[in-house]
Amino acid sequence: MGKTLLLISAHAADKEFAIEAAITAELSLQTVSTPTEGAELIQQEDISAILVDASSKEQYDAFEKSIQETVGLFSAKIN
């Protein structure tokens, strides 16, 4: 199975950046627009790297809450 970069963002500019980053790092790219979708994907799949739009405290808190509720903050999936 290949390695995957997960982008959690609703911004087109972030997706453009992630596409280039994935190409450069030779990773496949998966994108979702919400922290909840991202946490569910992290729980289900082997994700190699994550880029998340956490440009505000509220966005960071939403991501952290989704991870805690779905994957677990101290899960081996989050390193």
- What is the reported pLDDT for 1? 53
- Has residue 77 got a pLDDT over 80? no
Neighbours of 73 (CB within 10 A): 10
- Has residue 78 got a pLDDT over 80? no
- Has residue 79 got a pLDDT over 70? no
Question: Based on C-alpha coordinates, what's the Rg of the chain?
Answer: 12
In sequence order, which ranges of the chain are alpha helices (DSSP H)? Answer: 12-25, 35-44, 57-70
- For the entire predicted model, the pTM comes to 0.86
- What is the reported pLDDT for 73? 72
Q: Report CA 45 to chain centroid distance, whole Å.
A: 11
Least confident of 34-43, 48-57, 64-73: 64-73
Those residues with Cβ within 8 angstroms of residue 62's Cβ, 6 or more apart along the chain or in another chain: 34, 35
